[in-house]
Amino acid sequence: MIWAVLLCCAAVPVSIALTIWSSRNWRESKSTTKLFRPIGAALLPFILLAYGGAAFIGYAVWCERVRHVDPGIGDGWAVPVANNYSFWMIDVPEHGSLTKDDGTRAPVISDIVELAEVGDRIIGRSTSKGLFILNTRSGELHAFLESDAVQKEISPMPTLQSANAFYIDHRWGPLDLAAVTVIGSLGAMLLFVGYRFFIRPPARA
């Protein structure tokens, strides 16, 4: 909410500047619509803000409902892993938890600082449990394993990523780039239409 207020406050001087620009461009025009051009120019920043807000809400809903990831802001970050499990980080990106998406979101194992995903299994290191292997298909968790024991289960031993690096690799990808491209293109089109109809000076006879 505070960001919306701040952005609206920032849009006010922009709106005033666009109104003056439009008024000067259309001052000598004999068009019957010249009085409405500055009004449209004044509203343009707020229309773009409303579009940006609606686009962000749509993107956030798509992320949560379809991709099952966080919208990219806030103090909670989540990415899906195999078989309806998720990796969560809250407040800090140094460690996280694996949870089963069964409605309870109860952590299966917490304080994870390093991990890797190999098929149906998650291999990682927790500051409270040590090394562990979670079989996401069966739900079996083997913790307090020495590195030699892990290598007997999985060979070759995967390179463990930090919690934040694992999150970034699973969170951002081509779909996000496509979403930004679509949202940005529509925003640019709105800006062009606003300039074309409300700000650009009329063609001279």
Residue 13 lies in a domain: yes
Burial zone of 138 (CB within 10 Å; 0-12 exposed, 13-18 middle, 19+ buried): exposed
CATH number at residue 114: 2.40.10
Same domain, 53 and 82: no
User: 116-129 as b/e, with b when 16 or more CB fall inside 10 Å?
Assistant: ebeeebbbbbbeeb
Same domain, 103 and 152: yes
Spatial distance between the Cα atoms of 97 and 115, rounded to a whole number of angstroms: 11
Same domain, 48 and 80: no
Identify the domain containing residue 114 by its residue range: 76-159
Return the DSSP state at 64. I
Same domain, 90 and 130: yes
Same domain, 150 and 82: yes
Geometric angle at alpha carbon 38, from 36 and 41, rounded to 5°: 110
Spatial distance between the Cα atoms of 183 and 172, rounded to a whole number of angstroms: 16
Residue 43 lies in a domain: yes
Same domain, 147 and 184: no
What is the gyration radius of the CA atoms in the chain, in angstroms?
26
Spatial distance between the Cα atoms of 182 and 187, rounded to a whole number of angstroms: 9
Residue 37 lies in a domain: yes
Same domain, 149 and 86: yes
- Residues 6 or more apart whose Cβ sits within 8 Å of residue 86: 68, 78, 79, 80, 98, 99, 101
Q: Could you list the pLDDT tens digit for every one of the 205 residues in the chain?
A: 677 788 888 888 888 988 888 888 877 676 666 778 888 889 999 999 999 999 999 998 888 888 888 887 777 888 999 888 999 998 888 999 999 876 566 788 899 999 999 989 999 999 988 889 999 998 888 886 667 777 777 777 888 999 999 999 998 888 889 988 999 999 999 999 998 888 888 766 5
Residue 205 lies in a domain: no
CA–chain centroid gap for 120, Å, is 26
Same domain, 150 and 89: yes
Residue 25 lies in a domain: yes
- What's the length of the chain? 205
Same domain, 139 and 82: yes
Residue 42 lies in a domain: yes
Tokens representing 200?
A: 């650009």
Q: Tell me how crowded residue 115 is: count the other CB atoms within 10 A of its CB.
A: 25
Same domain, 56 and 83: no
Q: What is the pTM of this model?
A: 0.76
Number of domains in the chain: 2
Residue 171 lies in a domain: no
Same domain, 49 and 80: no
Same domain, 97 and 140: yes
